């Protein structure tokens, strides 16, 4: 943008068309150079100091202070254990949203439950009338996903479940530290599952809380922690993200070395338990959270995590209002946003263009569970085609967020869907 202003005074008598083309070329070149210096990772990186020096003990926030907690390597394992402990293996019906990641659905199915999908609209909310009639039709449990930190109408849903004797399970994989009117998400349901590593720079980690009738076997479940290599590999990656986010060029080189080391380990068939990937393997459901993740959990000021995420969300909202297609949702009080969703015409193209500029945008849930896809609504299909998630985590600086806004606004690929 500054280039346009500087050039304007000095421009020779070139035709306006030629000048516009020249400006566009120059702007593109500058953006490419600038992107070499800027890297905006999807997830918060890990400050290496924290591995060696635990910070002062922080006041824990729900769910980290919930009385009945069970930890695991990833959230899908806890979902699997929960539904197994609830004895859903006899084909009990569980209501699940048609807009989902896929791993949570696979874990519930692997536990033996029969799934029924309910619709999610473009505002990311269910149709309460449909939920009510499904609850009345003999379902045993209802799973609610709070998308990207946005609370569902959870009081109404909880009342509906109580009225019909249906268990309420909150999937808070994407909504750690989010609240609805002053009360934390995950405290409304009978049970709630959180993914810790999506909000905090942990190598892995997930948490299940039980709020009402406590299932003893689940409360006492102690899963053996994962092996050293699984922790070391992911921790190294997070530390490299932290370095690259600040010093892109050396960080990039270190990343290349880390990838080469990973390839060597794979060639030697050294197995590491994956984190964040797609799929559910019951053989991995017995893996627990490491001591390192537990220790790191005490290191952050969680209110500050929420404050910074909200600040970045507001920054993008201000820059995008009226210029970028957004979901019909606002930043609600107490919400801890996981990402900033935008609607783009061609998600793959937009993501590639942003990656080329150092911005690790996430193609949010391109593909759901095959059974839901077959019977899914057009609303879920629209969200899968067009929602692109921009990072706004606590480790970003305002200048990284500003850089991201500039890139999105300048890219043709980020235009709104028709
Ligand atoms: C809504 C939702 N629930 C559950 C999960 C499972 O989380 P994890 O990767 O920790 O198993 C994910 C992500 O995979 C998710 O997006």
Q: List all residues 6 or more positions away from 98 whose beta carbon is below 8 Å from its beta carbon.
A: 117, 118, 119, 120, 368, 372, 375, 376, 377, 380
> Is residue 331 over pLDDT 50?
yes
Closest ligand 1 atom to Cα of 276: 9
> Is residue 8 over pLDDT 50?
no
Q: What is the pLDDT of residue 7?
A: 32
User: Can 27-44+301-414 and 69-219 be said to share one CATH topology?
Assistant: no
Please tell me if the CB atom of residue 389 comes closer than 6 angstroms to any atom of ligand 1. Answer: no
Closest ligand 1 atom to Cα of 278: 14
Helix axes 248-267, 228-246, angle to 10 degrees: 160
Q: List all residues 6 or more positions away from 26 whose beta carbon is below 8 Å from its beta carbon.
A: 3, 7
Provide the mean pLDDT of the chain.
89
Q: Which of 102, 103, 106, 367 to mutate to test the pocket of ligand 1 (most atoms within 8 A of CB)?
A: 103
pLDDT digits (tens, 9 = 90+) for 38-89: 999 999 999 999 987 766 667 889 999 999 999 999 999 999 999 999 998 7
Q: Whose CA is nearest to atom 2 of ligand 1?
A: 173
Please tell me if the CB atom of residue 173 comes closer than 6 angstroms to any atom of ligand 1. Answer: yes
Residue 274: pLDDT band with limits 50, 70, 90? low
Q: Which of 75, 81, 83, 193 to mutate to test the pocket of ligand 1 (most atoms within 8 A of CB)?
A: 75
As a whole number, mean pLDDT of residues 126-148 equals: 97
Q: What is the pLDDT of residue 22?
A: 58
Q: Whose CA is nearest to atom 7 of ligand 1?
A: 75
Query: 395 near 242, Cβ under 8 Å?
Result: yes
Distance (angstroms) between ligand 1 centre and the Cα of 118 equals 18
Q: List all residues 6 or more positions away from 393 whose beta carbon is below 8 Å from its beta carbon.
A: 43, 44, 199, 308, 309, 312
CATH of domain 27-44+301-414: 3.90.1150.10
Query: 71 near 288, Cβ under 8 Å?
Result: yes
Q: What is the pLDDT of residue 279?
A: 86
Higher pLDDT, 36 or 156: 156
> Is residue 35 over pLDDT 60?
no
> Is residue 107 over pLDDT 60?
yes
Distance (angstroms) between ligand 1 centre and the Cα of 107 equals 10
86-90, 147-151, 263-267, range with greatest mean pLDDT: 147-151
Residue 5 and residue 30: Cα distance in Å, rounded?
A: 14
> Is residue 286 over pLDDT 80?
yes
Please tell me if the CB atom of residue 174 comes closer than 6 angstroms to any atom of ligand 1. Answer: yes
Please tell me if the CB atom of residue 176 comes closer than 6 angstroms to any atom of ligand 1. Answer: no
Q: Where are the domains of the chain?
A: 27-44+301-414, 69-219
CATH of domain 69-219: 3.40.640.10
Please tell me if the CB atom of residue 204 comes closer than 6 angstroms to any atom of ligand 1. Answer: no
pLDDT digits (tens, 9 = 90+) for 163-219: 999 999 999 999 999 999 999 999 999 999 999 999 999 999 999 999 999 999 999
């Amino acid at each position: 943008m500054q280039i346009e202003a500087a050039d304007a005074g000095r421009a020779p008598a070139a035709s306006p068309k030629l000048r516009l083309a020249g400006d566009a070329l120059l702007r593109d070149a500058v953006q490419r150079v600038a992107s070499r210096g800027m890297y905006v990772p999807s997830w918060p990186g890990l400050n290496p100091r924290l591995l060696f020096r635990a910070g002062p003990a922080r006041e824990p926030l729900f769910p980290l202070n919930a009385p009945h907690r069970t930890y695991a390597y990833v959230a899908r394992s806890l979902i699997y254990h929960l539904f197994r402990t609830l004895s859903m293996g006899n084909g009990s019906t569980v209501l699940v949203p048609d807009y989902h990641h896929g791993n949570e659905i696979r874990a519930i199915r692997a536990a033996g439950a029969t799934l029924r999908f309910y619709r999610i609209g473009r505002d990311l909310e269910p149709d309460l009338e449909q939920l009510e009639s499904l609850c009345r039709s003999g379902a045993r449990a209802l799973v609610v996903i709070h998308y990207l930190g946005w609370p569902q109408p959870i009081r109404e849903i909880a009342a509906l479940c109580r009225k019909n004797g249906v268990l309420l399970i909150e999937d808070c994989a994407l909504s750690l530290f989010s609240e609805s009117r002053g009360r934390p998400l995950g405290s409304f349901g009978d049970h709630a599952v959180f993914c810790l590593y999506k909000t905090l720079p942990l190598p892995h980690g997930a948490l299940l809380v039980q709020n009402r009738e406590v299932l003893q076997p689940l409360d006492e479940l102690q899963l053996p922690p994962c092996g050293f290599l699984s922790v070391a590999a992911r921790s190294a990656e997070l530390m490299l993200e932290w370095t690259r986010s600040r010093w892109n060029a050396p960080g990039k080189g270190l990343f290349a070395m880390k990838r080469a080391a990973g390839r060597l380990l794979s060639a030697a068939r050294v197995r590491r338990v994956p984190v964040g990937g797609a799929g559910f393997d019951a053989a991995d459901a017995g893996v627990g959270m490491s001591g390192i993740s537990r220790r790191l959990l005490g290191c952050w000021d969680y209110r500050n995590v929420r404050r910074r995420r909200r600040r970045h969300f507001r920054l993008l909202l201000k820059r995008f209002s009226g210029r970028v297609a957004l979901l019909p949702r606002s930043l609600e009080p107490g919400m801890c946003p996981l990402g900033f969703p935008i609607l783009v015409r061609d998600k793959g193209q937009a993501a590639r263009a942003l990656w080329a500029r150092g911005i690790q945008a996430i193609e949010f849930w391109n593909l759901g569970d095959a059974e839901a896809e077959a019977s899914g609504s057009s609303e879920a299909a629209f969200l899968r085609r067009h929602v692109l998630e921009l990072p706004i985590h606590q480790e970003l600086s305002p200048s990284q967020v500003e850089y991201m806004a500039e890139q999105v606004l300048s890219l043709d690929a980020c235009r709104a869907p028709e």
